Structure 1
């Protein structure tokens, strides 16, 4: 069988593999039933749904004709590196890194770092817009997680709050 869309085939394959991995990992938890769901129920159903969607996309890539076979382009390294770096920085700043003596910097600084670093993924990024977006996300996250849901985690660095 001939691939009619390489992009769709590999995207569907990625969804199917990730879905199967999630479903398989969820079986280590108590799944329960639809009426009495355990902690593994949602990840199991999500994994199955993701795998089914991936299989549907794979099927479409084998059946639906495209004009040029939609070849896969080159990898966009700049966005890949900056988005991954932004997420790693967010995790490190939010929780700290005790192995090197870096204390937790809190939610607000971690959000600003996430937005500013990920802004460099776009070639025409604007630092001013990154600061505006960081402010909106920081205020929204504070209101949602700290005020609304009353979650207990560090908002500011310890050298500010004491």
Structure 2
């Protein structure tokens, strides 16, 4: 059995579900009529685990395209995250978001500066909503 994309996705989802599910067990679960702080993350982890199981089964039974690592793309995503951090620290987070989008999308198959602009505007709108309505201290300007 070779590692294909579906199988790799399923294993990754299973690891995330297990990590958060085990973390949720450190908190009181409570009952369904009086939930404790660990009930919601445990329920979400169980649901994610079921999705992971279905994805693993699909990957084993149906197969799929092989998993290949493109070092260039991994490097671009890491560079985008580093650029976001540096630009946010020395300029502001709005500029960091735009820089991150323009670098990260270079890892895709087709590059469009118009699409990057739309994505940047959407992410900036979400960041402003988080700042204004949720009261998060984001250095956007």
What is the TM-score normalised by the length of structure 2? 0.73
Per the alignment, residue 8 of structure 1 pairs with 6
Q: Provide Cα deviations, 1:26-49, integer angstroms capped at 9, x if missing partner.
A: 222343333444443332222221
- Seen in structure 2, the aligned counterparts of structure 1 residues 37 and 117 have a Cα distance that, compared at 3 Å, is farther
Structure 2: unaligned runs, 5 residues or longer: none
State the Cα RMSD in Å: 3.0
Which residues of 2 match residues 62-141 of structure 1 at below 5 A? 62=60, 64=61, 66=62, 69-91=63-85, 93-94=87-88, 96=89, 103=90, 105-122=91-108, 124-141=110-127
State which structure, 1 or 2, has the greater radius of gyration over its C-alpha atoms. 1
The answer for unaligned runs of 5 or more in structure 1 is: 97-102, 157-162
**Higher mean displacement: 31-40 or 114-123:** 31-40
Once the two structures are TM-superposed, the CA of residue 138 in structure 1 deviates from its matched residue by 1.5
Q: Please give the residue correspondences for 1:23-42 in structure 2 after superposition, counting only pairs within 5 Å.
A: 23-42=21-40
Q: Is the 8 A contact 2:2 2:66 kept in 1?
A: no
How many angstroms apart in 2 are the aligned matches of 1:5 and 1:17? 16
Alignment partner, residue 21 of structure 1 = 19
Quick one: distance in 1 between partners of 2:40 and 2:53? 20
Q: CA deviation at 1:118?
A: 0.9
Question: How many residues were matched structurally?
Answer: 141
> Of Structure 1 and Structure 2, which has the larger fraction of its residues in helix?
2
CA distance in structure 1 between the aligned counterparts of 2:25 and 2:59, rounded to whole angstroms: 30
When residues 152 and 51 of structure 1 are mapped into structure 2, their CA distance, relative to the original with a 3 A threshold, is: same
- Is the contact made by 1:12 and 1:55 (CA closer than 8 Å) also made in structure 2? yes
